[in-house]
């Protein structure tokens, strides 16, 4: 029952390369944008504590499950891996539908992810050219709206980022994804740490650092229970807990077939329990350090911590502008950081579809990447040209809403049920035996008895929220 790599099946060159690629996939704009936005709008410390518990008891089991399916399969693509494992476990091949849902979700996400990353790319040059000099807060907001509302202005930045993504995927696992991750992620960690130290030190005297540390690390349960005065304390707690579970679930890139695909490239001598634990913990550390890089500046500048998605493109540029002569340098460095995070995530989002096309249609990885990438660009144009009055993004929001609230939770739930209850126990043992076996058994216990409950809760509440958005 041992997993034997198919002839020509790529593998990560080392454990370090795999960890960097997996962390690079998890660490994206979601850590810099969505995590800070969610923490800011859900009470800070209480949200973060629940988030960390969710990572420990839910995300690590799901992550290990996806690695197990990927490495057990005799193919590189996620759909084929689930199909292969289901057949060898004597189960219905219909379980491959879980990988189909996740793979399509990742593909549709990358179509608009490249648009947002294109905005990030443009902002680097805004700061390098001192483009926000002398602007009042309202002017900064107006400039952002003006930019994203002009598809001709956005198009070249979207295309530039999308083409970089396709090119890296086309180079294959070792020369493309692995190379990008091992080069960019260490630089990302160093830059993030430097920005966090800068933010903490420079906002020490104005109280921004103290306010940020209290906000991030001192849970305010009363504030969480009274977040929305129109509903009960229990409902408020449930709302924040669900937001934390959802953020944890999506932060480590589970449910999108990425980690099944990446798992198929893991050498057999790498401990999957230790790998899953390492990747999840490193992703969480990045999110927390990102909070230390962002919130001291926000509080020190007297800005709102609950600015939501506008935090990245409006709130922080206002804070950087208020820094005076060093503002453009800090702003450019921050958006360079965001670019590094975005590119390692975008290649991981495109990789499952490219791997599937390559194996399904017997074409080279390079050709598959460019064919699938061309389709990605075509669909992404709807998000580029679909910006309405006042910067509204209905096309982008529609794809984001359906993938994040329906497809990802559904795929994640199906995979955790498949691995916990339908995958052959001999295959499970084969993947967790050896180094870290005791840890693997503990994680697999949570995979069977704990994670399905919480992943199922995220799935149900997310789908209900999506339905309510249409029914009011």
State the DSSP code for 39: H
Task: Provide DSSP, 303-320.
Answer: --TT-TTHIIIIIHHHHH
**Structure confidence at residue 5 (pLDDT):** 42
| Distance spanning both ends of the chain, measured CA to CA | 51
**Structure confidence at residue 404 (pLDDT):** 87
Q: Which residue has the higher pLDDT, 170 or 239?
A: 170
Name the range with the highest mean pLDDT among 7-11, 18-22, 129-133, 216-220. Answer: 18-22
Let me know: does 317 contact 134? Beta carbons within 8 Å.
Answer: no
Q: pLDDT tens for residues 56-80?
A: 999 999 999 999 999 999 898 999 9
**Structure confidence at residue 465 (pLDDT):** 83
In this structure, CATH architecture of domain 15-471: Up-down Bundle (1.20)
**Structure confidence at residue 378 (pLDDT):** 98
Ranking 16-30, 245-259, 269-283, 368-382 by mean pLDDT, the lowest is: 245-259
**Whole-number Å distance between alpha carbons of 15 and 53:** 26
pLDDT mean over 231-240: 85
**How high does pLDDT run on average in the chain?**
91
How many CB atoms are closer than 10 A to CB 278?
A: 17
**Structure confidence at residue 309 (pLDDT):** 65
Q: Which residue has the higher pLDDT, 219 or 94?
A: 94
Q: pLDDT tens for residues 386-401?
A: 998 888 999 999 999 8
The residue ranges of every structural domain in the chain are 15-471
**Structure confidence at residue 321 (pLDDT):** 85
**Structure confidence at residue 340 (pLDDT):** 93
Question: Which residue, 178, 170, 179, is CA-closest to 368?
Answer: 170
Q: Is 323 helix (H, G, I), strand (E, B) or coil?
A: coil
Question: Which residue, 336, 398, 392, is CA-closest to 112?
Answer: 398
- Which run of H or E residues covers position 356? helix 327-360
Token couple for 150: 């002009």
Ranking 27-41, 262-276, 338-352 by mean pLDDT, the lowest is: 27-41
**Whole-number Å distance between alpha carbons of 51 and 42:** 11
pTM score, whole prediction: 0.93
- Report whether pLDDT(7) > 60: no
Ranking 2-16, 61-75, 359-373 by mean pLDDT, the lowest is: 2-16
How many CB atoms are closer than 10 A to CB 453?
A: 10
**Structure confidence at residue 3 (pLDDT):** 39
């Amino acid at each position: 029952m041992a997993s034997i790599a198919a002839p020509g099946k790529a593998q990560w060159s080392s454990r370090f390369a795999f960890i960097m690629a997996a962390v690079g996939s998890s660490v994206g704009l979601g850590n810099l944008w969505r995590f800070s936005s969610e923490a800011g709008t859900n009470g800070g410390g209480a949200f973060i504590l629940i988030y960390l518990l969710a990572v420990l008891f839910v995300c690590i089991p799901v992550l290990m499950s996806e690695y197990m399916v990927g490495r057990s399969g005799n193919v590189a693509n996620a759909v084929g891996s689930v199909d292969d494992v289901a057949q060898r476990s004597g189960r219905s091949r219909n379980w491959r539908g879980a990988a189909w849902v996740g793979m399509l979700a990742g593909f549709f996400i990358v179509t608009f992810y490249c648009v947002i990353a294109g905005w990030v790319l443009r902002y680097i040059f805004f700061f390098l050219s001192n483009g926000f000099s002398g602007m009042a807060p309202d002017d900064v907001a107006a400039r952002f709206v003006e930019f994203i509302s002009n598809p001709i202005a956005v198009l070249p930045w979207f295309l530039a980022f999308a083409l970089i993504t396709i090119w890296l995927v086309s180079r294959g696992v070792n020369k493309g994804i692995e190379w990008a991750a091992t080069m960019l992620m260490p630089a990302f960690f160093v830059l993030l740490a430097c920005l966090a130290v800068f933010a903490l030190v420079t906002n020490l005297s104005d109280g921004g650092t103290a306010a940020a540390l209290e906000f991030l690390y001192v849970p305010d349960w009363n504030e969480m229970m009274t977040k929305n005065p129109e509903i009960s304390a229990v409902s408020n707690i449930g709302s924040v807990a669900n937001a934390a579970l959802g953020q944890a679930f999506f932060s480590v890139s589970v449910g999108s077939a990425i980690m099944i695909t990446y798992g198929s490239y893991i050498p057999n001598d790498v401990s999957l329990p230790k790998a899953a634990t390492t990747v999840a913990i490193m992703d969480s550390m990045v999110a927390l350090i990102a909070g230390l890089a962002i919130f001291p500046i926000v509080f020190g500048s007297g800005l709102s911590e609950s600015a939501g998605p506008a935090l990245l493109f409006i709130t922080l540029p206002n804070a950087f502008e208020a820094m005076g002569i060093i503002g453009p340098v800090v702003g450019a460095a921050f958006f360079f950081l965001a670019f590094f995070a975005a590119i390692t995530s975008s290649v991981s989002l495109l990789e499952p579809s490219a791997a599937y096309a390559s194996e399904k249609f017997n074409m080279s990885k390079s050709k598959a990447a460019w064919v699938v990438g061309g389709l990605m660009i075509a669909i992404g144009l709807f998000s580029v040209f679909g910006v309405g009055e006042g910067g509204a993004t209905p096309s982008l929001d529609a794809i984001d809403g359906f993938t994040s609230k329906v497809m990802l939770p559904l795929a994640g739930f199906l995979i955790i049920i498949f691995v916990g209850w339908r995958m052959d126990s001999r295959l499970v043992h084969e993947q967790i035996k050896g180094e870290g076996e005791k840890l693997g058994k503990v994680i697999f216990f949570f995979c069977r008895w704990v994670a399905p409950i919480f992943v199922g809760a995220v799935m149900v509440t997310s789908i209900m929220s999506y339905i309510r958005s249409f029914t009011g």
